[in-house]
Amino acid sequence: MSARRYVITGLGVMTALGLDADSTWNGVRAGQSGIKTVSSYDPSGLPVRIAGELPGFIARDYGDKTYKKGLNKMARTLQLACAIAYKALEHGKVDLSKLDPTRFGVEFGSALVAIELDDLAESSFLSTRADLPGQVDLDAWGEKGQATIQPTFMLKYLPNFLACHVSMLLGAQGPNNSITETDVASILALGEAYRILQRDGADFFLVGGAECKIRPLSFVRQALFEQLSRRNEEPARAHRPFDRDRDGFVIGEGGTVLVFETLAHAQERGATIYGEVIGFGSAFDTRRDGDGLARAIFAALAEAGLDPDDIDHVNAHGTATTLADVMEAAALCRVFGDRVPPVVAYKAHFGNIGSGGGLTELAISLMAMREGVLPGTLNHENPDPACPIPVHTGAGRAIVKPAFLKIGFTNLGQCGAVVVRRWSS
């Protein structure tokens, strides 16, 4: 392991439980769920009507004049990324004037940015055939509909613009990258930043992911093509990771940005340290049987210099879908054998935030390590024999070992694993 060390010193977190790290942590520790019936629009015509919405997020409440002036050029996902980045800087007590901008990097996980209905409503209305409702008249589209769309329309929805806007607003001139592997994107972004710090390519990073998966067009698409829970009458009990009665995940919005830097840089500015990244691995699960995820975990453990028995708990992906939970459990059994450490999965508290979810869940384990108490998993009531892993439920348990494992993957097979150690000088 390198003599250099790399630490997390700030947490910007927004979830359905609250708009800062403490609110989310307190809600998780209290066993609360922020999943409710969608309130930002009328979902009554949809087969799925529940989600993890942010409580009272107003984009103009954050940032400086430059950020606020540009809000109309940002989709909600981009607004969230910038607002959460500001929260991370505040939480980490970062003085931007004291950073070397050329050594200040930005790494973000992102995905397909949901298009707002308002940007397409007029053109769609003008281009619909009067004699066949729902069918597009291409001549009308060319003559009328296309002209109503702003030339810069797509700039609101480019997935690399999360990192782009954050870096421009904050003056970051160091390494900048966007990782677009959906649900595992923010974990892979942390891994990429970790590698750059190891190569001495930067001193300081904002690493994050954000996503709004509940806008109407995105919601309809996912209701049609994803396995979403249909428990509309009991939203807080809908997301059921590794449970025999699971019927799919609940979508959400929000994300997390971490302040991530070299130990020397953190100590020089007197930062509070929340954890130390000591290992990372990634792989591709070609057969979707857990082999790729297991290889990613083995790689992360090897770089950390730890044995499986050194891990206090596994912070799982826990999508609560029929096949993914079985694959994830199989990977954990392949790595840990019959000694799988306690497994937690926290999406039931705030929904599946997609590219913002991995680091949001990791942040909960960071706060748990700091407090010495690991909250239990919600809604795991009937263990599935096909998922033979020890899911920690109920009251918080004492954290007894100095490191945890966070894992994630996509339904296409991309996998990531990070080992984080409790800070000790």
Q: Which of 234, 268, 302 is the last residue of a domain?
A: 268
The string of pLDDT tens digits covering residues 16-67 is 999 999 999 999 999 999 999 999 999 999 999 999 999 999 999 999 999 9
Same domain, 184 and 131: no
Q: Which of 236, 268, 300 is the last residue of a domain?
A: 268
Question: Does 381 reside within a domain?
Answer: yes
Same domain, 141 and 211: no
Tell me the C-alpha distance between 113 and 220, whole Å: 14
Same domain, 360 and 236: no
Question: Does 42 reside within a domain?
Answer: yes
pLDDT at 233 over 90: yes
**Interval 164-187 mean pLDDT:** 97
Question: Does 336 reside within a domain?
Answer: yes
Q: How confident is residue 132, by pLDDT bands cut at 50, 70 and 90? A: confident
Contacts of 20 (CB under 8 A, 6+ apart): 12, 13, 14, 87, 91
The mean-pLDDT minimum among 162-166, 198-202, 213-217, 257-261 falls in 213-217
Same domain, 61 and 175: yes
Tell me how many domains the chain contains: 3
The string of pLDDT tens digits covering residues 182-207 is 999 999 999 999 999 999 999 999 99
Same domain, 341 and 406: yes
What amino acid occupies position 326? Answer: V
Distances in whole angstroms, Cα of residue 168 to Cα of each of 67, 137, 153, 371: 10, 41, 20, 35
Which CATH number characterizes residue 111's domain?
A: 3.40.47.10
* pTM of the shown model: 0.95
Question: Does 1 reside within a domain?
Answer: no
Question: Does 2 reside within a domain?
Answer: no
Same domain, 198 and 211: yes
Q: How confident is residue 180, by pLDDT bands cut at 50, 70 and 90? A: very high
Same domain, 194 and 315: no
The string of pLDDT tens digits covering residues 322-378 is 999 999 999 999 999 999 999 999 999 999 999 999 999 999 999 999 999 999 999
Which three-class secondary structure state does DSSP give residue 170? Answer: helix
More reliable by pLDDT, 199 or 112: 199
pLDDT at 103 over 90: yes
The residues that bridge with 283 in the sheet, in sequence order, are 415
Q: Where are the alpha helices (DSSP H) in 230-282?
A: 263-268
Tell me the C-alpha distance between 20 and 1, whole Å: 33
Which residues form the domain of 173?
7-116+155-268
Q: How confident is residue 1, by pLDDT bands cut at 50, 70 and 90? A: very low
Ranges of beta strands (E only) in 62-138 are 104-109
Q: What is the mean pLDDT of the chain?
A: 95
Question: Does 281 reside within a domain?
Answer: yes
